[in-house]
Structure 1
Amino acid sequence: MPAAHRRKLPIGIQTFSDIREGGYYYVDKTPFIEKLANQNKYYFLSRPRRFGKSLLLDTLGCLFEGREALFYGLYIHDKWDWQQRYPVVRLSFGNGVAADREDLDANIRYQLQQQRARLQITSTAPKRIADDFASLIEQAHRVHGQRVVVLIDEFDKPILDNIPDSDRARELREGLKNLYSVLKDADPHLHFVLLTGVSKFSKVSLFSGLNNLRDITLSSDYAAICGYTDHDVDTVFAP
């Protein structure tokens, strides 16, 4: 195929809109996403670094926000109700290293503040982080009239970054557990939840209250939800 007809390789790009609008190759993962959205409410996915987890979350965010133009030509386009738009809360711990609990708490507060601004929630945030997160979810539901989608990327990175210092790792684990515990009681306000990371959640005891969290890490139905298969390389990337 002539070089002029080739698209660009999406190396290191984690933003779905950049790929779709920037002339990059995209392996259509929306068949998996449609199944995710219609089967359960709470999910967990573990994959190694650089495996496309952040792109998956961004794709889900765009879908639930109703950004239809990005999905033209993809499997899910004519199977999705584009009139339904959901408030999406996105948290990520992929950037930077949390030096201690105070640093982690400041990071969480900053992210929650960003989400309030993005969702046009103007009321004052409560002092406790757990209350802040719970309040954000409840208010987003009330303001937007739809239940909330929560997407959390690299849920375990602050712990893994501090594995050599076991005391600090435990301290950060408690801080994250405090945050994630909110999701159980927020159930009436939640439409969909996905958390991704590198480690298995059961090993770090962060979600003890979320006994309905479905782990799809080793599910054959979702084996190819991130990354590329041989078939993808031989077809999508054939040029």
Structure 2
Amino acid sequence: MKATKGIPYGMSNFRNVVEQNCYYVDKTMYLPLLEDQAHYLIFTRPRRFGKSLFLDMLRSYYDLSQKNNFQKLFGELWIGKNPTPLQGKYQMLYLDFSKIGGSIDELSQKFDAYSAVQLDELLMRYREYYDDEFVARFLSTKTGLDKLHMLDDEARRLGYPLYLIIDEYDNFTNVVL
């Protein structure tokens, strides 16, 4: 007998939704359609409409570091039975702009500091793909912008595809207004 599924109200972590047996409206059948679209997508929906959970599902699906968890996370969903060739192929950079607070005067500094931390975390997650010399140079670099350029250049040189997801991108507008 299956346990009653919980309602994932306010949850934006796809893995937690699956592992905690929460009700999930399967939208994975749209992934092949998204892959046929332009490389830059913007999802606009009202608040509390599941955007963050959808983006986290995309992260789990395309993330190279989650490739071994594919059946566990997606086995019961449409995409679990119909995976695309891009499943588990990307090094993922996930930025949540709601984590960047402060006044308009602090915005640039806080954005750069947040980006630097997230880029360091990305490099450590995919550490096995980069040589020691690059890792040392990368970790000694201070600004997020410089780290982003370094990672982009090195990943391109080595043929590693990167995927950027930005959640809560309207946060800057909310801070400015």
Q: TM-score, normalised by structure 2?
A: 0.76
Shift of 1:53: 1.4
Matches within 5 A, 1:1-239: 5-65=3-63, 66=67, 67-69=69-71, 70-80=73-83, 81=85, 85-99=89-103, 100=106, 101-120=108-127, 121=130, 122-125=135-138, 126-141=141-156, 145-163=159-177
Higher relative helix content: 2
- The residue type paired with residue 130 of structure 1 is L
Report 1 or 2 for greater relative contact order, CA contacts < 8 Å, sequence distance ≥ 6. 1
Q: Alignment RMSD, CA only?
A: 2.5
Q: Which stretches in structure 2 are left out of the alignment for 5+ residues?
A: none
Shift of 1:61: 0.9
Worse-matched range after superposition: 6-15 or 44-53: 44-53
| Alpha carbons 1:92, 1:155 under 8 Å: kept | yes
- The residue type paired with residue 124 of structure 1 is R
Q: Deviations over 1:173-196 (max 9, x none)?
A: xxxxxxxxxxxxxxxxxxxxxxxx
Secondary structure of the 1:107 match is helix
Q: TM-score, normalised by structure 1?
A: 0.58
**Runs of 4+ displaced beyond 4 Å:** none
Worse-matched range after superposition: 61-70 or 123-132: 123-132
Secondary structure of the 2:137 match is coil
- The residue type paired with residue 43 of structure 1 is L
Shift of 1:10: 0.7
Q: How many angstroms apart in 2 are the aligned matches of 1:95 and 1:108?
A: 11
Q: Indicate the percent of aligned positions where both proteins have the same amino acid.
A: 30
Count of residue correspondences: 160
| Alpha carbons 2:113, 2:144 under 8 Å: kept | no
Secondary structure of the 2:93 match is strand
Secondary structure of the 2:98 match is coil
Q: Name the CA shift for 1:79/1:155 in 2 (closer, same or farther; >3 Å).
A: same
Higher relative strand content: 1
Q: How many angstroms apart in 2 are the aligned matches of 1:113 and 1:150?
A: 14
Q: Name the CA shift for 1:140/1:7 in 2 (closer, same or farther; >3 Å).
A: same
Q: Which stretches in structure 1 are left out of the alignment for 5+ residues?
A: 164-239
